[in-house]
């Protein structure tokens, strides 16, 4: 991705655009990349494939009507409320939805506003979400979103229109330009847990849910939420990380900044470097294991990687 300065839609420059924050105009320009993402190809191949990485649940089934129970009807489709009211068993009938729901779950907690190389994780998150949003728009799917931070969350109900897509794009830009508040690890974990619980409650079965985060707070609660969400939906996880989070540099003192605060790091201690690396690898292995177990698509991107290329190529490899 180019590091040249881009601009607002009115032409005025946005300092650090594409590095520490990103403008709406820049996210709109990602439309050409999003249109190339093979989301539909994954869904089509999944109908005839048994591979866990391509096992998508398909489109949701929408309630149509209830009728008296007939021999052969599935017990799980009994409408218990009407049955209780009438005293006679009734079954629910469903029809396939004409478009799938695509929901974006995007993390904007304080650690996302960080990078030692390339672009802030928050910028990458906005870019990834925008590309997937443009792909959903092109495919005619209904698009919704849940953006969250330590200060709460914001929801967009799924709709199939360009206004919703552009509204989401504007919010992705706005969140990338926020100044993150100082927060404790407990607050960050609680924010992620609440956002995962909320997405579980509002997501309709058969949806495609794209979760974009650094997933640094992965714990049993997170795993349980992901397991529940994957049971009835298709999940894509985009894990973002900075090279410093994966491995400390060679021995020496280093100063890092999120653009607002500076922190000095001493990497001379070999045991510290080893522990840092092992912690990262353990978290990575745990997330990969969860995804394998539940058929979740996992894409990983460093802050200095080519995000559009990774998404396009990784999705493409899973459909060939």
pLDDT at 73: 78
Average pLDDT over residues 275-286: 93
More confident residue, 185 or 263: 185
pLDDT at 188: 92
Domain boundaries, the chain: 24-43+99-317, 61-96
pLDDT at 35: 76
Residue among 117, 121, 108 nearest 151 (CA): 108
Q: Is 233 helix (H, G, I), strand (E, B) or coil?
A: coil
Residue among 180, 213, 175, 211 nearest 21 (CA): 175
The class (CATH top level) of 24-43+99-317 is alpha beta
pLDDT tops 80 at residue 315: no
For the chain, give the mean pLDDT: 83
pLDDT at 154: 97
Average pLDDT over residues 141-165: 95
**CA–CA separation, 318 and 103 (whole Å):** 21
Bridge partners (DSSP) listed for residue 265: 254
Q: Is 182 helix (H, G, I), strand (E, B) or coil?
A: coil
Question: In Å, how far are 40, 86, 140, 166 from 74, measured between CA atoms?
Answer: 30, 19, 32, 42
pLDDT tens digit string along 167-178?
999 999 999 999
Cβ distance 59 to 140 under 8 Å? no
pLDDT tops 90 at residue 49: no
**How confident is residue 96, by pLDDT bands cut at 50, 70 and 90?**
low
Question: In Å, how far are 30, 90, 248, 297 from 313, measured between CA atoms?
Answer: 16, 48, 28, 13
More confident residue, 172 or 182: 172
**CA–CA separation, 35 and 22 (whole Å):** 20
Average pLDDT over residues 65-73: 81
More confident residue, 258 or 132: 132
The helix or strand, by DSSP H or E, that contains position 138, with its residue range, turns out to be helix 121-139
pLDDT at 195: 97
Q: What angle do CA 123, 128, 133 make, to 5 degrees?
A: 125
**pTM for the whole structure:** 0.77
Q: Is 17 helix (H, G, I), strand (E, B) or coil?
A: strand
């Amino acid at each position: 991705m180019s590091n040249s300065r881009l601009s607002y839609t009115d032409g005025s420059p946005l300092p650090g655009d594409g590095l520490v924050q990103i403008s709406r105009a820049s996210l709109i320009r990602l439309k050409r990349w999003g249109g190339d993402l093979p989301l539909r190809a994954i869904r089509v191949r999944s109908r005839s494939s048994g591979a866990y990485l391509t096992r998508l649940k398909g489109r949701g089934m929408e309630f149509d009507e209830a009728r008296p129970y007939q021999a052969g009807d599935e017990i799980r489709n009994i409408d218990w409320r009407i049955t209780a009211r009438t005293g006679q068993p009734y079954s629910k009938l469903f029809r396939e939805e004409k478009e799938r729901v695509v929901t974006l779950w995007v993390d904007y907690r304080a650690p996302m506003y960080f990078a030692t190389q390339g672009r802030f994780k928050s910028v990458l998150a906005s870019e990834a979400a925008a590309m997937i949003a443009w792909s959903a728009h092109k495919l005619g799917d209904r698009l919704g979103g849940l953006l969250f931070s330590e200060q709460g969350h914001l929801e967009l109900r799924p709709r199939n229109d360009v206004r919703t897509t552009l509204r989401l794009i504007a919010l992705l830009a706005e969140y990338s330009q926020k100044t993150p508040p100082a927060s404790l690890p407990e607050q960050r974990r609680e924010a992620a847990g609440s956002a995962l619980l909320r997405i579980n409650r509002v997501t309709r079965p058969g949806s495609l849910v794209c979760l974009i985060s650094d997933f640094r707070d992965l714990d049993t609660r997170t795993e349980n939420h992901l397991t529940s969400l994957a049971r009835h939906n298709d999940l894509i996880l985009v894990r973002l990380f900075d090279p410093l989070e994966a491995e400390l540099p060679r021995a020496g003192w280093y100063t890092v900044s999120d653009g607002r605060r500076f922190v000095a790091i001493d990497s001379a201690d070999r045991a510290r470097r080893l522990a840092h690396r092992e912690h990262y690898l353990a978290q990575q292995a745990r997330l990969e294991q969860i995804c394998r177990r539940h058929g979740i698509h996992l894409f990983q991107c460093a802050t200095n990687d080519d995000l559009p290329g990774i998404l396009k190529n990784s999705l493409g490899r899973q459909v060939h």
